[in-house]
């Protein structure tokens, strides 16, 4: 499982870079327009992904910022958001590099942002969620871009593996 999670961390960085490259081509009104995604605009969806990753990484590592709202807008400006995304992706890659099988199997405890309860679960299940959550909302980013009439993005894992991700094959 360790190799799989490290691959997912590298894939995440690659896919996020593709989404951000496409977003960089948008006008500001396009970037902020509500196209029906769960968080409305590409701006808000990309902020949500960063928010969620920071919340999970704070839970996993005990360090970093943890926003208190899932719809928080951490960055109004695209360039600052893009820089923060790159840094978070590197942080995730570095952290997955420190894991071992024992830490993946161990339980950890946290309280969800949305509910005042205590949750305990194996780390590997929460880490699986982190990567699945990214994929889910990147799909909404893809939908938003195509709704704006922009080219479709090839974000499938296999495209990563056939290009920059050959080391994982």
Contacts of 71 (CB under 8 A, 6+ apart): 39, 44, 48, 51
Global pTM reads: 0.96
From first to last of the 169 residues of the chain, give the pLDDT tens digit: 999 999 999 999 999 999 999 999 999 999 999 998 999 999 999 999 999 999 999 999 999 989 999 999 999 999 999 999 999 999 999 999 999 999 999 999 999 999 989 999 999 999 999 999 999 999 999 999 999 999 989 999 999 999 999 999 9
Instruction: Tell me 66's DSSP state.
Output: -
The encoded tokens of residue 128 equal: 């699986």
Distance CA 1, CA 71 (A): 31
Torsion of CA 112, 74, 89, 32, to 10 degrees: 110
Report residue 98: phi and psi, to 5°: -95, -10
Tally the C-alpha atoms within 13 A of residue 125's C-alpha that lie toward its C-beta: 8
Distance CA 124, CA 127 (A): 5
Distance CA 27, CA 169 (A): 38
């Amino acid at each position: 499982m360790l190799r799989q999670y490290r691959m997912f961390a590298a894939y995440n960085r690659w896919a996020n870079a593709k989404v951000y490259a496409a977003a960089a081509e948008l006008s500001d009104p396009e970037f902020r327009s509500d196209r029906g995604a769960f968080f409305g605009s590409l701006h808000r969806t990309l902020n949500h992904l960063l928010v969620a990753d920071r919340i999970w990484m704070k839970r996993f590592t005990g360090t970093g910022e943890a926003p208190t709202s899932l719809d928080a807008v951490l960055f109004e400006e695209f360039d600052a958001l893009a820089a923060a995304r790159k840094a978070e992706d590197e942080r995730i890659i570095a952290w997955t590099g420190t894991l071992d099988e024992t830490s993946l199997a161990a339980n950890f405890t946290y309280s969800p942002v949305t509910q005042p309860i205590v949750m305990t679960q194996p780390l590997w299940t929460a880490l699986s969620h982190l990567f699945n959550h990214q994929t889910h909302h990147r799909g909404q980013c893809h939908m938003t871009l195509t709704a704006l009439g922009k080219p479709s993005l090839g974000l499938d894992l296999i495209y990563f593996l056939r290009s920059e991700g050959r080391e994982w094959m």
